[in-house]
Amino acid sequence: MSGIPKIIRGTADEANYVRNKLIEFNSRHAPNGIYEETNLCVKDETGNIIAGLNSAICWNWMEIDILWVDDEYRGCGHGKRLLEEAERIAVSKHCTFIKLNTFSFQAPEFYKKYGYREMAVIENAPLGYQHYYFIKDLTDNEENL
């Protein structure tokens, strides 16, 4: 090997390669784990996406990365429906908890309303706002979902 390897901005394919290499590494050290993306969406009558939830199941938990509802459709229950469906899927995959993060200008009160407990808050992330981390224990809810 000659010289110092160059750092570049990766493409989406390269990011997936790196993710898959980490999953491979993790599997060697914590066997019996799974990594499964679980993405949901709500479409209107013309087929346009009006809400969605992107998540991944890792070992015994689900991590919700994104829950989004179009401004025009907020307050119609789509976020609740997506969250409930994600929770049903997580329980069916034997997850014991769900974790997620949100900003103060997004939906911390929404998640609290549905049983998510605040684990941590980072102040001024972004400046003037808070970055919340939440968790929900699913072990008590299995019969309810």
Q: Average pLDDT by consecutive 10-residue portion of the chain (145 residues)?
A: 83 89 82 85 96 95 97 96 97 97 96 97 97 95 50
- Residue 3's pLDDT is 86
- Residue 1's pLDDT is 61
- Residue 145's pLDDT is 47
| Nearest residue to 145 via CA among 33, 136, 111 | 136
- Residue 80's pLDDT is 97
This model's pTM is above 0.85:
no
